Amino acid sequence: MQTEYIKLDPEHMDKAALKKGALLLRQGEVVAFPTETVYGLGANALDPAGVDKIFLAKGRPGDNPLIVHVAHPGQLKSLVTEIPPGAYALMERFWPGPLTLIFPKSSLVPSNVTGGLNTVALRMPKHPIALALLQEAGVPVAAPSANLSGKPSPTVGEHVWTDLMGKIPLILDGGETQYGVESTVLDLTATPPMILRPGGVTLEEIQEVIGEVRQDPALKENQPPRSPGMKYTHYAPEAEVLIMEGSEQEITSLIVNHYQRLVKTGQKIALLVSEETAQELEHQLVPDYLEILGPRKNLSLVAHRLFSALRHADLHSVDLILIEAFSDQGLGAAVMNRMRKAAGNKVLKS
Ligand code: TXA
Ligand code: MG
């Protein structure tokens, strides 16, 4: 299949390109587009044959449900059978934006969208291109992240091209995504509501609106997670990833020690570290590849750069990525969740 690649300026959108994307969606095709979190691969959520093409292009397991994207909160009514307490307040505060809410699903939603579950995940994205495409299509759009299943999510159009070129008809490139990590998934069918996946909206922000919120215990412990997608290896580059965890005082020597030990095995090693650590490392070693994720306190910058940095390390053909752990508070919960998945939970501590 020929893949068309169109660059769009979010400030001055090319109407013809949006119309082309919307028409493809209505015809049962898939289209990749930017959201404020990561790029999505969309299909008409009410067309099971179109939705099947998402699973095929990504190589995604069929039991991993998709998020349905809506152009406005009113679109939700026909897709759900119940609007649990707190839902309106959350939509008011966080939509459009990176919060996905799980509702009991209506019979209108095909079962391949929800991986056979009787619930459906909904979100209204904030990116102007995503919103314009949804409006133009006039249908709800099921869209997982637009990466090959298991790979880091795409935060620029080129990542989508690398993964899906030849497999989908159209990529809309809107430049870098803002957040860099996906939406927070909040299950409103649980009492109290439960965070199944940390993301762009933090636990603390949700608590401010609805009070009591729980986190899926499986996010911390070794239990089967409730969100089907969280059980798969995910966000993983080709290189092996090891997390380096230590106090601010110890982290640099921890990295230097492990680097010097591991480099003797002949492996090419990348370091993905905080700005502070990079400064301390400067006079101690010259790694094969180094990328700064951001200052320790600037977790939104770290989130924004994380997936790109993992992909950059692969482009430099390293065998191993040593990555510095960050705080898991606030947006750090999403950062550390993705990092642990990318590393398959492999952590070296001091
Ligand atoms: O930011 C995002 O959410 C991006 C952009 C494109 O919107 N999308 C995204 O989709 O990250 P995906 O498919 O990569 O992740 C969807 C997550 C998975 O962990 C999936 O298991 C969970 O949402 N999910 C979807 N429907 C669910 C449901 N009914 N119950 C529980 N978890 C669900
Ligand atoms: Mg994904």
Write the secondary structure of 255-299 as one string of H (helix), E (strand) and C (coil). Answer: HHHHHHHHHCCCCCEEEEEEHHHHHHHCCCCCCCEEEEEECCCCH
| Residue with the two structure tokens 């092996």 | 240
224 burial via Cβ count (<10 Å: 0-12, 13-18, 19+): exposed
Distance 67 CA to ligand 1 centre (A): 5
Tell me what pLDDT residue 84 has: 94
The best mutation among 31, 60, 67, 184 to test binding of ligand 1, ranked by most ligand atoms within 8 Å of the C-beta, falls on 67
Higher pLDDT, 222 or 330: 330
Give percent above pLDDT 70 in the chain.
97
Fill in the DSSP letter of residue 313: H
Pick from 89, 350, 212: nearest CA to 325: 350
21 CB within 6 A, ligand 1: no
Residue nearest to atom 15 of ligand 1 (CA): 144
* C-alpha distance from residue 106 to each of 49, 81, 102, 110, 137 (Å): 18, 5, 12, 9, 21
pLDDT at 223 over 70: no
CA distance 261 to 219: 31
Tell me what pLDDT residue 290 has: 98
Among the residue ranges 16-20, 234-238, 260-264, the one predicted with the least confidence is: 234-238
- Give the amino acid at 149: S
Q: How would you classify the pairing of strands 170-173 and 119-123? A: unpaired
65 CB within 6 A, ligand 1: yes
182 CB within 6 A, ligand 1: yes
Ligand nearest to the CA of 150: 2
Contact between 219 and 199 under an 8 Å Cβ cutoff? The reply is no
341 CB within 6 A, ligand 1: no
149 CB within 6 A, ligand 1: no
> Six-digit token pair at 182?
């996906």
> Strand, helix or coil at 181?
coil
Averaged pLDDT, 317-345: 96
**What is the pLDDT of the chain when averaged over all its residues?**
95
Ligand nearest to the CA of 228: 1
Question: What does 73-123 look like in DSSP terms, one character per residue?
Answer: GGGGGGGBS---TTHHHHHHHH-SSSEEEEEEBPTTS-TTTTTT-SEEEEE
| Residue with the two structure tokens 């095929």 | 56
Residues shown for the chain = 350
- Which residues have a Cβ under 8 Å from the Cβ of 286 and sit 6 or more positions away? none
66 CB within 6 A, ligand 1: yes
CA distance 173 to 121: 25
**What number does the ligand 1 atom closest to the CA of 179 have?**
1
Fill in the DSSP letter of residue 165: T
Q: Within its chain, how far is the Cα of 35 from the centroid?
A: 10
pLDDT at 227 over 80: no
pLDDT at 222 over 60: no
Tell me what pLDDT residue 231 has: 61
Ligand nearest to the CA of 37: 1
Q: Within its chain, how far is the Cα of 94 from the centroid?
A: 17
Half-sphere exposure of 299 (CA within 13 A, CB side): 18
CA distance 144 to 41: 6
Q: Which neighbouring-strand residues pair with 194?
A: 187, 214
Contact between 79 and 140 under an 8 Å Cβ cutoff? The reply is yes
Residue 337: what are its φ and ψ, rounded to 5°? -60, -45
> Six-digit token pair at 147?
């990466």
pLDDT digits (tens, 9 = 90+) for 120-137: 999 999 999 999 999 999
Averaged pLDDT, 324-331: 97
37 CB within 6 A, ligand 1: yes
Residue nearest to atom 19 of ligand 1 (CA): 229
**What number does the ligand 1 atom closest to the CA of 121 have?**
26
143 CB within 6 A, ligand 1: yes
CA distance 288 to 311: 15
pTM across the whole model: 0.96
